[in-house]
Structure 1
Amino acid sequence: MYNPVKTIKTNTVGTINMLGLAKRVGARVLIASTSEVYGDPEVHPQTENYWGHVNPIGPRACYDEAKRVSETLAYSYEKQEKIEVRVARIFNTYGPRMHMNDGRVVSNFILQALTGQDITVYGHGQQTRSFQYVSDLVDGLIKLQSSNYSQPVNLGNPDEHTIEEFATIIHKMVGGKSKIIHKDAVEDDPQRRKPDITRANHILGWQPVVPLEKGIEKTVEYFRKELMRSRHSERNLHYPLMESFGVNEHQRAEDYTDL
């Protein structure tokens, strides 16, 4: 929402660029779509056959509608240009190596709890989300890309929790003096979100295996270490001399991803 035009262009122009490249080299394209294509759903849980309930001019539309268009582009290229496509509708995912300031529910709650700030819940807190651990998602993406199935597939954990419950879980796990507080609701915030993963289970033989508590424990530990490093000026590393040696930003990120 901070830069809606760039968000739209990334998911539309960027997708066209990749599909065009796939056409030229004969590649199979994996589209990382999202549960946001379902909008604020009127069907629960959400199956891949559900068309969604999205406000096309709301504050979240720059992402929701752009992802919907990216799916449309993929299947248009599949039909017209015979490009192989795989479409994963990814539900909320968390885990180590998340950026601490990415604004997501998991990172917000954990960071607030670890730093002793109030844990901020927007709205009444009874809206639900289903969180999957990153290793489960990676496993599902690999299986989808390796399959012969081209229709959209939900990849998410059907273990549904309210935002209030989730805040309480993190608060108890981290401890400290943080309090759970409520602020005004976010416009067009989906009220219920839970994937139907029947298709993923039947077609790919996939289902999530990492329990929420175990995944949150690993993520909290990662964030705790990151905070310690940031206090010692070690978390955000800069290599000003590398450009002179012809090392680009993406290569540098790969070289130091395990630091």
Structure 2
Amino acid sequence: LYIEVDQIYHLASPASPPNYMYNPIKTLQTNTIGTLNMLGLAKRVGARLLLASTSEVYGDPEVHPQREDYWGHVNPIGPRACYDEGKRVAETMCYAYMKQEGVEVRVARIFNTFGPRMHMNDGRVVSNFILQALQGEGLTVYGSGSQTRSFQYVSDLVNGLVVLMNNNVSSPVNVGNPEEHTILEFAKLIRGLVGSRSEILSLPEAQDDPQRRNPDISKAKLLLGWE
């Protein structure tokens, strides 16, 4: 690529479980070869690169809330591994390039996010529930629905990424909402907001689905002034 840039935001990757599990090889290639290409570009033009990493690097965490110094609890051969391990390798690549080639990197570990222009059929929980409620279908919850997630609004995420890019923090930073709710609570909330009479249906639990996900954002608050 022949471009002149000072900053590169590397957000390329499938991110919803059905999408990244559909083609695990392409998911791995995007997060490894794609990241390698972006780091090469950053080195060539002297740009700073921000990697959009993920809370999935923590796997199904055994520590709550998750701090950046937690190494995670990840199944390296499970159905989600193509994404989890792809992002873990991408982070490793970033810090290898920083150490060996002097490339400036920023790593944002992004937690669940929602907002306008989400694909309605991408398989993520918020869009799933909205679509099912609008169509009068049952809202599908895996297991008991006691799994927790913490959702941030997309504009808050974008602000966090920009602040991180323009700061001097080179170590990974959690970017997410620390307020935790169960999936069942989300289903009931969305059903109520839509005004739907849909039932809530329980399906078998998905393999390696994290039971809790809740970021510790102390680092972002302290070093970036972001929350």
Q: After TM superposition, is the score higher than 0.5? A: yes
**Structure 1 residue 177: deviation in Å?**
2.1
**Structure 1 residue 176: deviation in Å?**
2.0
2:12 pairs with 1:9: no
**Structure 1 residue 115: deviation in Å?**
1.0
The residue number in structure 2 matching 1:154 is 174
**Structure 1 residue 175: deviation in Å?**
1.2
Structure 1 gaps, min length 5: 208-259
Taking only the aligned residue pairs, the percentage that are identical comes to: 72
What is the aligned-residue RMSD (CA, Å)?
A: 0.5
User: Counterparts in 2 of 1:123-202, with a 5 A limit?
Assistant: 123-202=143-222
Q: Write the distance in 1 (CA, Å) between the matches of 2:27 and 2:226.
A: 30
Q: Write the distance in 1 (CA, Å) between the matches of 2:86 and 2:46.
A: 25
Residues 40-70 of structure 1 show CA distances to partners (whole Å, capped at 9, x for unaligned) of 0010000000000000000000000000000
User: Counterparts in 2 of 1:244-255, with a 5 A limit?
Assistant: none
**Structure 1 residue 123: deviation in Å?**
1.1
- Return the TM-score normalized by structure 2: 0.91
Q: Write the distance in 2 (CA, Å) between the matches of 1:154 and 1:40.
A: 16
The residue number in structure 1 matching 2:67 is 47
Residues 208-239 of structure 1 show CA distances to partners (whole Å, capped at 9, x for unaligned) of xxxxxxxxxxxxxxxxxxxxxxxxxxxxxxxx
Q: Write the distance in 1 (CA, Å) between the matches of 2:172 and 2:57.
A: 11
Q: Which has the larger radius of gyration?
A: 1
Residues 176-203 of structure 1 show CA distances to partners (whole Å, capped at 9, x for unaligned) of 2211110011000000000000000001
More helix by share: 1
- Secondary structure, in 3 states, of the residue corresponding to 2:22? coil
Q: Would you say how many aligned residue pairs link Structure 1 and Structure 2?
A: 207
User: Counterparts in 2 of 1:1-259, with a 5 A limit?
Assistant: 1-207=21-227
Moved over 6 A (4+): none
- Return the TM-score normalized by structure 1: 0.79
Q: Write the distance in 1 (CA, Å) between the matches of 2:187 and 2:217.
A: 25
Residues 109-164 of structure 1 show CA distances to partners (whole Å, capped at 9, x for unaligned) of 01111111100001111010000000100010000000011000000001100000
